[in-house]
Chain A
């Protein structure tokens, strides 16, 4: 069974600082996809970044980057130069081809001015 674990229910970061959100997953598959979604107070689920497991290079989207460690089944999200608008719930998700997504329980990120 595939499970996704986010061990940090809540984190805080100072504006302009860097924060890393952790995610681990359990799978016996070798080919799959990993995602980070952001859910601000508006409740809209917004894709932040995605990673294909067959790619060794870590994905990057502007201030957002991941540290993908396939052997360790770890997929952490790094947010650089944190902004007030980054405050939200962040969900890590796993998906195999044609199969459903598995979401973690989420990490609430607070950004302090």
Chain B
């Protein structure tokens, strides 16, 4: 069974450009999470979806960041315009939710974003 799939694995872009990160959750999982990891701030939750609906986006840094989940098998995180301080590793994770029992999060391999 394939795990969480993220693309691209590495992205180098110039300041001001639009960046789109992609995630395919594990089939059957109905919660999806986007995280950002930096040395300074550690692992930060940006947004999470349940059944394709954004539940908590309080971690999204600012309006330059947006996330969508058009269906159960795909999500995007977009940064427009990108800035050097956005350089980080971005993780996507998915989780099955069974009735009222929350389960483990399974992480993708991450996308290392470098904004020059």
Q: Which residues does chain A contribute within 8 Å of B101, judged by CB atoms?
A: 97
B100 touches A45 (CB 8 A): no
Asked if B45 and A47 make an inter-chain contact with CB atoms under 8 angstroms apart, the answer reads no
A35 to B48: give the CA distance in the assembly, Å: 18
A103 touching B104 by the CB < 8 A rule?
no
Given the contacts A45-B91, A103-B42, A98 and B107 also touching, CB distance less than 8 Å: no
Q: Contact check, A98 vs B93: say whether CB atoms are below 8 A apart.
A: no
Chain B 86-107 interface residues, beta-carbon cutoff 8 Å to A:
89, 91, 93, 97, 100-102, 104-107
Q: Is the interface of B mostly helix, strand, loop or mixed?
A: strand
Find B93's partner among A42, A43, A45, A99 (CB 8 Å cutoff): A45
Instruction: Give B53 Cβ to nearest chain A Cβ, in Å.
Output: 12
In the complex, A64 has a CB within 8 A of chain B? no
| A residues contacting the other copy or chain, number (CB 8 A) | 21
B110 within 8 A of A: yes
What chain A residues lie within 8 Å of B89 (beta carbons)? 43
Q: Does B50 interact with chain A (Cβ within 8 Å)?
A: yes
- Which A residue sits closest to B37, measured CB to CB? A43
Q: Give the nearest-CB partner of B50 in chain A.
A: A98
Nearest CB of A to B84, in Å? 20
Q: How far is the CB of A38 from chain B (nearest CB, A)?
A: 11
0/1 per residue, A83-110, Cβ < 8 Å to B?
0000000010001111111010110000
Residues on the A chain within 8 Å of B107, using CB? 37, 44-46
Known contacts: A91-B43, A100-B45, A105-B42. The answer to whether A43 contacts B50 by CB under 8 A is: no
Which of A37, A43, A91, A100 interacts with B48 by CB under 8 Å? A100
Whether the pair B56, A100 counts as a contact (CB closer than 8 A) is yes
Q: Which residue of A lies closest to B47 (CB)?
A: A100
Q: How far is the CB of A25 from chain B (nearest CB, A)?
A: 15
Closest chain-B Cβ to A57's Cβ sits at a distance in Å of 18
Determine whether the beta carbon of A99 is less than 8 Å from that of B106: no
Give the residues in chain A near B112, CB-CB below 8 Å. Answer: 43
- Residues in chain B within 8 A of chain A (CB atoms): 33, 42-43, 45, 48, 50, 56, 89, 91, 93, 97, 100-102, 104-107, 109-110, 112
